[in-house]
A and B are shown apart, each in its own frame.
Chain A
Amino acid sequence: MNDIIRDLQVDNLQVDKDLPTGAPVNLSRRGLLVGSMGAAAGALVLGFGLPVRGARAQDAAKAVAPGTRVPAFLEIRPDNTARFLSPFVEGGQGVFTAMVQIVGEELDMDPKSFIVENAPTGSDYLVVFGKMRITGGSMSVRTSYDTMRKLGASARAMLLEAAATRLGVAADKLATEPGYVVHAASGQRIAYGDLAGDAMSLPVPAADSVTLRDPKQFRWIGKPVERLDVLDKSIGKAVYAIDLKVDGMLHAAVQHAPRLGMSVGAVRNEASVRAMKGVISVHHLPGAVAVVSERWWHAKRAVEALQVDWAEAGAKPVMDGIRVMPANFSTADFAERLANEPGDGKDAEKEGDAAAAFASAKTVVTATYHSQYLHHAQLEPPSTIARFNADGTLDVWMPNQAPEQFQADIAKRTGLDASKVNVHSPMLGGFFGRHFLYQAANPYPQAIQLAKETGRPVKVIWTREEEFLRDPMRPMAAVRFKGGLDANGMPVALEAISICEGPTEGIAGHNKDKLDETAVEGLTGKSYAIPNRRIAQIYVENPTMLAYWRSVGNSMNDFLYESFLDELADKGGKDPYELRMQLLKDNPRLSTLLKTVGEMSGGWKRGPFTAEDGTRRARGIAMASPFGSHTAAIAEVSIKAGEVVVHDVWEAIDPGSIVNPAIIEAQINSASALGVSQVLIEEAVYKNGMPVARNYDLYPILPPSRMPRVHARIIESGEKMGGIGEPGLPAVPPAVANAVSTLTGERVRRMPLSQYTFNS
């Protein structure tokens, strides 16, 4: 992972031609197909393969645009069901269903008749901007929508062509109905499943030669089609990486060094641990020890019994690309340092003349705001199976959201050609940004080393404790705000200097000549008509490993900005909802959104007011424009026993146009939950270079008792399609914080709110 996510943030999805695609350059499609099929034919319990007929029928030597070669994606079976290989990984966001809604619409096949699997690696699947493959950045549907429609339409054209040949009639005398080609003149109907063998051998028509369905005639796109994976997930049949098993597989558990960068020194009791029940072998890994056993529980017990003298990091890093965690690192001290870091920073966004506007402003308001480190805390702990095969290939099964990038990395680590590395990408037990290529944060290098050392396939599972020790985190920031108000209390100037390290520069390296947009997005890109603005960043390298977290920079920056905007409203004597309305009066799209969320909540009322149950409550408003979509949220809160209760969240989202409203509503619920969790209770704290919390007991995530009611509304403005998975989050934390500030009279400038005790 490098500069990719950063480009996702850009509203117009233009991508630099030099953008790294993550695809190994020496990738041979044919070699890869063979490798994948070989894996499917092997001893694996679950088969992941490619449709063999079609793949063979195509000449792999010919350069084919990603997302166009129908047989790489689609297999229509004799029973008239279809198997679709998705370039995007399913992790709860509903992308498998969305993909077959789009493809099925044009193919003329009911989404219900599909099964969907994650595609193997291969250049056919680099459909994001036609050149890369990741599942992230809320990009899947919006970047592949046109490609997938054309793919479905091409497949339909091939079926029509095959039917025309079989019936001896011209293709234009034929029509389709779901799953069938129909010849009206003779009354004949042929099932797609009967034609697929012929059709998939035909050349794929040029993508621009196919006719797309008139959107007014859509049967499935835009409808609340039921998700394909819901039943399996309700009866325990969905299979995640942690559930996989291959023949002859051993289990391994690890104990990581307490601080990243340390290495294994002496192991005091290795001999006695080797003698523990079930232990096959003990291994020294970079920055970790491992125990291999026939049973994971034995491995786990034994590895935890190992008494390791960890050696401090020397000059040579124990692993490439890692940061050495200092023994005295504390998040509390680091937050102080960020807040007090001198300087004015590097411009990220500049409009007008903020300095002059401050000089002539009636009132100048300054405040420093903070965000915190966060864990992903996805419920499925990391795991990997690695298996070296007799034919010189390596199979790796692991949670990931960028298969080709992991493949390239494994090729580099092992010295194998990428075509010999088969990456399998099972369903994810939660995304939240956890499954990108982060150094030292994934177990696959350990699994590969252990498979090599034992000569057997090995599955490594990290305990929750090992996961929280190595989970790379959402960055923390301190932002120094300055706002200038005119005599009417209207903001005329705003400056925000964020002292932080962005996730992208944290992962890919800081470039002093560039600005990491993921550090400042959400401070930048605001639509409020404040004539003089300066948004800047002071880069401070973190000693921690950083990561993308659902909604990336926006996950914190909209909290920081929107809370300060309320502070300005208060200082200027303005109602925060009315102030936003005034600042957006020339922006019809966002004005509509703001009006809508006001109406949804029964009309804007800030409070404090007394609710029917006698509790004192208040409401807060906030807006965000992340990932090509726009949102506005209102939250209603009260205080109970010193803690914040969030009763309701109303959120309106304008993603331009949509594919599945039910999935969007689910994602708004989900994003609201994560937003409320972040603002109320989450914070990853380090003391003495170590995380204080190693499990959910000390790093609580939102429990059901603290979940608000969520009321979602979708506005289809018809503008360019935006993202869905992440945009619902950023407006929620500031809406809650602003409500709490109104209710308590105390301005909240830090997350999480659990660090405060409020008076009811």
Chain B
Amino acid sequence: MKLEINGQPYEVESDGDTPLLWVIRDELGMTGTKYGCGLAQCGACSVMVDGEIVRSCVTPLDSVANRSITTIEAIQNDAIGRKVVAAWVQHQVPQCGYCQSGQVMAATALLKQNDKPTEDDIAAAMVNLCRCGTYNAIKAAVQDLSGQKV
């Protein structure tokens, strides 16, 4: 099956019902996208497909054939992604960091669709779990990016 990930074409051999997460991590060896629950509960596996956030642990490979997939590995190739990363550093968001690939992807997807999200927009989009409880730092970083006073 042909995939486009981070602007590169890939030919993968996994079955069509394999979750995209395991194709990315195991077959393609890109481990920035994380496995947390396998049940679309935590969001650690978030990637963008055609600019939309999806949870790759429950996304079958055959549903993303010929679509444009972006993983955390390419986040700094994206103008908005770069800003999100800079805000993450400025606000010193990560602690253990395990969920942060997914958080950065979620913030980037939000800001790509809506460059001035309201507090409610942010709350609706930034729903990934973080066991370290970095939520306030995440919110501050996204508000900062959306031009809101923190």
Chain B residues in 8 Å Cβ range of A310: none
- Given A695-B41, A701-B129, A666 and B98 contact (CB-CB distance below 8 Å): no
Given B32, B44, B71, B93, which contacts A230 in the complex, CB threshold below 8 Å?
A: B93
A603 at interface (Cβ–Cβ under 8 A)?
Answer: no
Question: In the complex the two chains form, is A670's CB within 8 Å of B95's CB?
Answer: yes
Given A234, A427, A705, which contacts B85 in the complex, CB threshold below 8 Å?
A: A234
Question: In the complex the two chains form, is A92's CB within 8 Å of B95's CB?
Answer: yes
Q: Chain A nearest CB: distance from B92 CB in Å? A: 6
Q: Chain A nearest CB: distance from B138 CB in Å? A: 7
Question: In the complex the two chains form, is B129's CB within 8 Å of A696's CB?
Answer: yes
Chain B residues in 8 Å Cβ range of A674: 131, 133
B39 at interface (Cβ–Cβ under 8 A)?
Answer: yes
Q: How far is the CA of A431 from the CA of B31 in the complex (A)?
A: 20
Chain B residues in 8 Å Cβ range of A236: 31-33, 71-73, 75, 101, 104
Question: In the complex the two chains form, is B36's CB within 8 Å of A662's CB?
Answer: no
A561 at interface (Cβ–Cβ under 8 A)?
Answer: no
| Docked complex: B12-40 residues within 8 A CB-CB of A | 14-15, 18-19, 22, 25-27, 29, 31-39
Chain B residues in 8 Å Cβ range of A411: none
Chain B residues in 8 Å Cβ range of A379: 34, 36, 42, 44, 96, 98-99, 129-131
Number of A-B contacts defined by CB within 8 Å: 169
| Docked complex: A685-710 residues within 8 A CB-CB of B | 695-697, 701-705, 707, 709-710
Chain B residues in 8 Å Cβ range of A696: 37, 39, 41-42, 129
Question: In the complex the two chains form, is A431's CB within 8 Å of B96's CB?
Answer: yes
- Given A230-B92, A242-B35, A380 and B136 contact (CB-CB distance below 8 Å): no
Q: How far is the CA of A380 from the CA of B126 in the complex (A)?
A: 20
| Docked complex: B123-150 residues within 8 A CB-CB of A | 123, 126-139
Q: How far is the CA of A674 from the CA of B96 in the complex (A)?
A: 14
B76 at interface (Cβ–Cβ under 8 A)?
Answer: yes
- Given A235-B72, A296-B26, A464-B38, A701 and B131 contact (CB-CB distance below 8 Å): yes
* Cβ-closest chain A residue relative to B91: A230
Question: In the complex the two chains form, is B18's CB within 8 Å of A297's CB?
Answer: yes
Question: In the complex the two chains form, is B37's CB within 8 Å of A234's CB?
Answer: no
A114 at interface (Cβ–Cβ under 8 A)?
Answer: no
B117 at interface (Cβ–Cβ under 8 A)?
Answer: no
- Given A277-B15, A379-B99, A227 and B129 contact (CB-CB distance below 8 Å): no
Q: Chain A nearest CB: distance from B124 CB in Å? A: 9
A329 at interface (Cβ–Cβ under 8 A)?
Answer: no
Q: How far is the CA of A669 from the CA of B131 in the complex (A)?
A: 11
A239 at interface (Cβ–Cβ under 8 A)?
Answer: yes
| Docked complex: B109-131 residues within 8 A CB-CB of A | 123, 126-131
A428 at interface (Cβ–Cβ under 8 A)?
Answer: yes
Q: Chain A nearest CB: distance from B78 CB in Å? A: 11
Question: In the complex the two chains form, is A378's CB within 8 Å of B131's CB?
Answer: yes
Q: Chain A nearest CB: distance from B105 CB in Å? A: 9
Question: In the complex the two chains form, is A697's CB within 8 Å of B41's CB?
Answer: yes
A interface residue numbers (CB < 8 A to B):
91-94, 226-227, 229-240, 242-243, 245, 251, 277, 295-297, 377-381, 427-432, 461, 463-465, 662, 666, 669-674, 677, 695-697, 701-705, 707, 709-710
List 7 A-B pairs, Cβ < 8 Å: A94-B95, A235-B104, A242-B34, A245-B29, A297-B14, A379-B131, A707-B133
B interface residue numbers (CB < 8 A to A):
14-15, 18-19, 22, 25-27, 29, 31-39, 41-42, 44, 71-73, 75-76, 85, 88-89, 92-101, 104, 123, 126-139
Given contacts A378-B131, A666-B137, A670-B95, 7 further A-B contacts (CB under 8 A): A92-B97, A226-B89, A240-B34, A295-B26, A662-B92, A666-B95, A704-B135
